[in-house]
Amino acid sequence: MTNNIKKDYLWNTIGVLAQNAISPLLLIAVTRLNGVSDSGLFSFAFSLALVFWAIGIWGGRTFQVSDVKREFTAQSYIFVRLLLSVVMLGGAIIFCTLNGYDAIKTTTIIVLVLFKVVESVADAIYGILQVHGRLFITGRSLLYKAILGFVAFIFIDTLTQNIFLSCIGLFGANLLVLFAYDIPRALKFEKVLVGLSHVNQYIKEAIVIMQRCWPIAVVILFSMFSLIIPRYFIDLYHQNEIGYFGILAMPITALGLVITFIIQPNVVRLSQHLEKKQFNTFDSIVTRLLLVAGLIGVAIFITTYFIGVQVLEIIFGVDFSNYKTALMVMVVGAIVNAYVSIYVNILTIMRHFKAQFFTLLFTNIGLVFIGLATVQQYGLLGGVVAYMAVNMVQAIILFVAYRRLIARISRSEV
């Protein structure tokens, strides 16, 4: 492994760990400082903001970085994110209005969506840096944002005990790093500022990008639903358990970390092997990624079984003795979800969207009905069982789809 690749792996891993750690760390702080009720509000609002973020990234960095032929300009990828930022904000306002949320819940959701708007735009900047072999800069940026955001949030919440104001601090810290660090460094490699003189070109290319990427965008959005659907029903029918559900979902964040930092550094390499029709090498890398994710998943499961409840009680200062079964079910669901995420990313690199689209569409439709019934009757436990079950079905179908696809394209080149 060359020094540049080692540097990319190191800083990308640190940055992604910091980025994904911010949510559980803030959840711990809110639970400790404000109580389980406010932690439920924060976890629900944050998870909902993630759904709108899935709309905002519209295909994500994977499509942008794997555009090895440079079909679209960097500005056009950024312009897409700016357009979708308006959609994110408007969608959040409509969702809160339709559900009749009170002012506190609505404003908290809106400011966290704005926080994710900044992340969406920054992700396009990161794509530029990664294409130019500067993935380590994105890792540093994520680390700076996590540190500043955490400090700002905790400082404000300690003084005010107000979740909304604390979230504004989180948003402001990320906005500062975007303009003071991300954009200046990206400007060394590409013109990233969207000028009015070329706006017609950006619009044309943005439309084409959105047309090309809509299957990816929908797939990413659907992939978020497997957790947000049971969370939504718990918030609706068993609001007293929504805080506990947010805490029990932490294993998903942990495994999400694994998927991100093992997939992103390999996107360009996998795309190049695919372009050169080196399918055996491509499949070998995918197999190693799946093995690493599985080993880490097993380690998390074993650790959680023996000390999971005790650790949560120490960290959050809340009694979890009644939720051990739910916690283990959630961990299994998280492990399976890790495989779903890997297959979604791999099939995206292969530009094969049909299997993902229909798999996630129909399984999530089924989850709505299953989740509604199980959550109403069994509360939080029903929600985590529904989550685990739908992820198992998704993982099996996507595994079969990938194996058939890799076998077909390999035969076609013989």
Q: How far apart are the C-alpha atoms of 226 and 113, rounded to whole Å?
A: 19
pLDDT along the chain (414 residues), means of 10: 72 84 91 92 94 85 76 85 94 96 96 96 92 90 97 97 96 97 92 73 85 81 89 94 90 69 75 87 92 88 93 90 94 91 88 88 95 95 96 96 91 67
Q: How big is the CA angle at 140 (ends 294 and 159), to the nearest 5 degrees?
A: 100
Show the DSSP H helices in 317-379 as ranges: 324-349, 354-378
The three-state secondary structure class of 317 is coil
Q: How far apart are the C-alpha atoms of 45 and 348, rounded to whole Å?
A: 28
The three-state secondary structure class of 191 is coil
Quick one: pLDDT at residue 51? 92
| Structure tokens belonging to residue 243 | 């805080």
Residue at token pair 């908290």: 108
Instruction: Report the predicted TM-score, pTM, of the whole model to 2 decimal places.
Output: 0.84
Provide the residue ranges of all domains of the chain, joining segments of one domain with +: 3-412
As a whole number of Å, the end-to-end CA separation of the chain is: 31
Q: How far apart are the C-alpha atoms of 393 and 388, rounded to whole Å?
A: 9
